[in-house]
Chains A and B, each alone.
Chain A
Amino acid sequence: MKILPFIIVIITGSLLIWAGQDMPDFGDPDAPAHHHVADWYIENSEEDVAVENMVTSILADYRGYDTFGETTVIFTAGISVILILRRRED
């Protein structure tokens, strides 16, 4: 059990707990995370897109550009693994 990393971990943990006291309560329906854009998505997702799952319609239609970048990220990871681990047959 090393001393210096342990002290750093204790200091970081206490700073995070002290900063987390301003967060809203667990499961509060009046939290500000629920009122700005989530209400608009819940009300208008049925008329614009005829899919019953709200998560799929947000992921593939309202925020489809992020999913496109996501697929590029996993494609790049596959290419990187091949480039690191294959050698030229000399």
Chain B
Amino acid sequence: MREEDIIIRTVIRLMVPFIQVFGLYVIFHGGGGPGGGFQGGVIMAASIILYVMAFGLTAGKQRLSEKVNMIMRSTGLYLYGGAGVLALIFGGKFLDYGVIPLPFLDPAHIRAFMIDGVVEVGVAITVMAVMVTIFFELYPGGTSDD
């Protein structure tokens, strides 16, 4: 598709890294304030959608190729299911993170580490990959033309 004006291209090229850093902030501070996995994943997908709207679909697909997108779409779900099965291996129930013996931590802080570091990150990766997939499919001139 065609490219936009030069003012739009320059401003968006400056803004996209700051939007991604803010998205990472919202993901990792889900335990101390408002935020979490779903919200941060959508913000990170919005940065890629903004880039494609200014520079065209071909330039966007060079930055985030189809194969990387396909791998990210299922990695998040594996992380979440893997955390649950890990709790099954060490003797507890499914998704009961308190029985995993990490060193130097008591069960309350083990749960906090698993929530903030593994589960929320997995949810954010899946949500970001699916939002980018839906946008690339519905955009005119994508893979669904005759």
Q: Which residues of A contact B (CB under 8 A)?
A: 47-53, 55-57, 59-61, 64-65, 67-68, 71-72, 74-75, 77-78, 81-82, 85-87
Contact = CB atoms under 8 A, between A and B. Distances in A.
Nearest to A85: B144
B112 A75 contact: no
Contacts of A47: 108
Given A49-B111, A52-B31, 4 more contacts: A53-B30, A68-B84, A71-B127, A81-B133
A50 B134 CA distance: 36
B44 interface: no
Given A77-B134, A82-B133, A85-B144, A53 B34 contact: yes
Contacts of A87: 144
A72 to B, nearest CB: 7
Given A60-B119, A78-B133, A78-B134, A71 B32 contact: no
Contacts of B97: 61
B34 A71 contact: no
B74 interface: yes
A53 to B, nearest CB: 6
B144 A56 contact: no
A85 B130 CA distance: 15
A56 B112 CA distance: 10
Nearest to B129: A78
A45 B101 CA distance: 21
Which 5 residue pairs are nearest across A and B when measured between Cβ atoms? Answer: A78-B130, A51-B31, A85-B144, A50-B112, A50-B108
